[in-house]
């Protein structure tokens, strides 16, 4: 946990305080960026851009909520800004990019590792993955997702549903003995 004195040091542009924040939050923030951007160099670049924003905007932090949560929001927004502005990702925010989905029902998995689940999440269609990460993992509301991605709330909900269906379908393929399809 970062102390108020360290945050104040960042306000004063103290390099030691900034280094402490960077070193404390680097692993967590990198894992967040990697949920959105898989390329190693690209994710590190986005992460560094995010930390620059944190240090430039630290005067906007008002000690009301957790500093870590405030930093997470900046890092996520930086990753989303990168996705929106990068030509390589432009086409993923359209319905044409959505892969077909399948209706399956989950009876429960007890031995699924986080690494396996993250691998499955990484393999779903790009927009649905972003919406799923924002909603299920990062705690954004559909309204916030819609605003960040410039889509409607209904489209956000559709992508979340699509993500869940895709994840369930992939889990069904990976663990056929655990899943039972109904209907």
Is the confidence at residue 141, as pLDDT, over 80?
yes
Alpha helices in the chain (DSSP H): 4-11, 15-36, 40-57, 67-85, 87-90, 114-122, 126-132, 142-149, 153-174
103 pLDDT band, cuts 50/70/90, is: very low
Selecting from 3.40.50.1970, 3.10.20.520, 3.40.50.300, 1.10.10.10, what CATH number does the domain 95-174 have?
A: 1.10.10.10
At residue 88, the pLDDT reads 57
Q: How far apart are CA 129 and CA 18, in angstroms?
A: 32
At residue 101, the pLDDT reads 39
| Region 132-144 average pLDDT | 89
Identify whether the C-beta of residue 10 lies closer than 8 Å to the C-beta of residue 18: yes
Selecting from 1.10.340.30, 1.10.1740.10, 1.20.140.10, 2.40.110.10, what CATH number does the domain 4-90 have?
A: 1.10.1740.10
Structural tokens at position 132? 């799923």
Is the confidence at residue 180, as pLDDT, over 50?
no
Structural tokens at position 15? 């390099």
* pTM check: above 0.75: no
162 pLDDT band, cuts 50/70/90, is: very high
Dihedral, CA atoms, 142, 147, 151, 155, nearest 10 degrees? Answer: 10
Answer whether 4-90 and 95-174 agree in fold.
Answer: no
């Amino acid at each position: 946990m970062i102390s108020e004195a360290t945050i104040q040091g960042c306000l004063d542009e103290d390099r030691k305080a900034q280094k402490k924040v960077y070193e404390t939050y680097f692993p967590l923030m990198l894992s967040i960026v990697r949920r959105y951007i898989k390329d190693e160099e690209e994710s590190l670049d986005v992460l560094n851009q995010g930390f620059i924003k944190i240090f430039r905007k630290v005067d906007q932090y008002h000690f009301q909520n957790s500093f870590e949560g405030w930093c997470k929001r900046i890092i996520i927004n930086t990753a989303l800004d990168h996705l929106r502005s990068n030509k390589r990702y432009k086409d993923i925010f359209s319905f044409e990019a959505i892969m077909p989905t399948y209706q399956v029902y989950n009876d429960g998995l007890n031995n699924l590792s986080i690494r396996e689940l993250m691998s499955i999440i990484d393999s779903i269609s790009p927009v649905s993955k972003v919406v799923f990460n924002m909603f299920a993992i990062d705690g954004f509301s559909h309204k916030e997702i819609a605003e960040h991605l410039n889509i409607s709330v209904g489209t956000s909900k559709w992508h979340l549903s699509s993500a869940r269906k895709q994840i369930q379908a992939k889990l069904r393929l990976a663990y056929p003995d655990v899943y039972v399809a109904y209907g």
